Structure 1
């Protein structure tokens, strides 16, 4: 169910307007700090120096007023608090922090880190509670994940008999290419799945900056697939066995969607097979 304006969600628990968890001033998923790879002093000179810089992980404070509207007793507060504690329990994998601002849902990926109630008011059936979420990936993504599927390119029409050149052969290429859009203000990676049978598949992303192509030097049989993450630069066969060593990145490197515009995604292979399929997933991204 879509979130209402001002609502926040972690592990299926919705907080904010219309819930037992009133959000207070201080919820901030937008602040960022820089992380420098080198920041030491200069060994033979004044001042300091800095190398490559990146955005650090982000701690998102979530201040709440917890109250059970149906049971404003200490027991009612405990019931509400347990729901909150369950949502913010430690996790062995990244979770979503989802919120709605300006009618648009956004999401950060990371781990819950804190639930700290001021229990002095619990006997009255409510507390101020500080919760926190650490976004290990500081990129803000669209709440909606986009996806598109395409097969290998084929041709229809044209002539197939020997002719004396020059001659015009009209034919139309179908499938194999599609336009993809990152509506955000930050570049974003693609998650790709290639389903066989397909020999030596390759995926290209054509942008104004050039063409980036991934080539996979293997043949997928029927029932086999590749999972590719172009941001993490991982390639797995059937979800488990790494095939990074059988992958080469040509041209512009690993395909990354540029911000604020369209790009063309292309699928090709050493030989045509009507059953081969590429499915791409991505989210719009912001700083």
Structure 2
């Protein structure tokens, strides 16, 4: 279900316009702070120095007004509060925080952290409640996940003839190539599923800075597949067995998608029309 302008979603609960939960001023998924590694004063000079810098995890405040819109009773408020508390219950895995701004849906991945109602107004059937969401990954992603599926390249046309004349017969390569776009402002990882049969499959991304190639030196039979995460740099066979030890990254390293539009290629050491590579990614922002 697409969110309306100004709405926020945690698990299956939607907050904001048209709901029992009025999102208040203070909802802020945008603020980021820098985490500087090895920052300290200089031992033998004025000022300070800093090592590598990264974006810290982000805590998103979500203040809401919880109300029993129909009867304004404590019982109605309690039912609404319990649904809110369930949406912000602890999680053993990352969940989504979604919101809609300017007609576009965005998403953060992390964990719910707090539901704190002010119960002074509960007898009137409403409360101000403070909620929070910890974005352990501070990257802001597009709510929509993009995908494309490629087959292995094959050559069609062309002709080999036993003559020495300057004779040219055109040939063209079909499949195996695609154009993908990151509409955000931050480089994003690719999640690739390669389905066999495929011999030594590889994925290449052509960018302005060079070509990044990840190649798995193994043979996939029919029914086998590889899951590759180019941001986490993990490779799994059939979803469980790591194949990181037989994987190499060539060119400029693991393929990650910069902002803008770039060419993607799927290749292998042999051609099989059943082999496919499905690539998924999201636009990303700082």
Coarse TM-score class (shorter-chain normalised):
over 0.9
Task: State yes or no: 1:211 paired with 2:215.
Answer: no
- Which structure 2 residues correspond to residues 63-212 of structure 1 after superposition, within 5 A? 63-160=63-160, 162-164=162-164, 166-212=166-212
- Cα pair distance change 1:163/1:70, threshold 3 Å: farther
Question: Taking structure 2 as the reference length, what is the TM-score of the superposition?
Answer: 0.97
**Matched residues in 1 for 2:209 and 2:93: separation?**
35
Q: CA deviation at 1:12?
A: 1.3
**Matched residues in 1 for 2:163 and 2:10: separation?**
66
**Matched residues in 1 for 2:198 and 2:123: separation?**
65
Provide the secondary structure at the position in 2 that maps to 1:123: helix
**Matched residues in 2 for 1:227 and 1:162: separation?**
45
After alignment, is 269-278 or 40-49 more displaced?
40-49
Task: State yes or no: 1:274 paired with 2:273.
Answer: yes
Provide the secondary structure at the position in 2 that maps to 1:264: strand
Cα deviation 1:100-159 (Å, max 9, x = unaligned):
001111111111111000111112111000000011111111110000001000011111
Q: CA deviation at 1:37?
A: 1.1
Q: CA deviation at 1:169?
A: 2.9
Cα deviation 1:155-210 (Å, max 9, x = unaligned):
11111455446542311100000000001111111111000010000100001111
Q: Which residue number in structure 1 is paired with residue 20 of structure 2?
A: 20
**Matched residues in 1 for 2:30 and 2:17: separation?**
20
Q: How many pairs are equivalent?
A: 286
After alignment, is 43-52 or 90-99 more displaced?
43-52
Provide the secondary structure at the position in 1 that maps to 2:78: helix
Structure 1 gap segments, 5+ residues each: none
**Matched residues in 2 for 1:175 and 1:68: separation?**
57
- Cα pair distance change 1:59/1:165, threshold 3 Å: farther
Q: CA deviation at 1:84?
A: 0.4
Q: Which residue number in structure 1 is paired with residue 60 of structure 2?
A: 60
Q: CA deviation at 1:43?
A: 3.4
**Matched residues in 2 for 1:53 and 1:165: separation?**
62
Q: Which residue number in structure 1 is paired with residue 258 of structure 2?
A: 258
Question: Taking structure 1 as the reference length, what is the TM-score of the superposition?
Answer: 0.97
What is the root-mean-square deviation of aligned Cα atoms in Å? 1.2
After alignment, is 66-75 or 211-220 more displaced?
66-75
**Matched residues in 2 for 1:70 and 1:255: separation?**
54
Q: CA deviation at 1:212?
A: 0.2
- Cα pair distance change 1:95/1:168, threshold 3 Å: same
After alignment, is 159-168 or 143-152 more displaced?
159-168
**Matched residues in 2 for 1:262 and 1:210: separation?**
14
**Matched residues in 2 for 1:165 and 1:88: separation?**
75
- Cα pair distance change 1:67/1:31, threshold 3 Å: same
Q: CA deviation at 1:4?
A: 0.5
Provide the secondary structure at the position in 2 that maps to 1:222: coil
Cα deviation 1:40-65 (Å, max 9, x = unaligned):
33334443321000000010000000
Runs of 4+ aligned structure 1 residues displaced above 6 Å come to: none
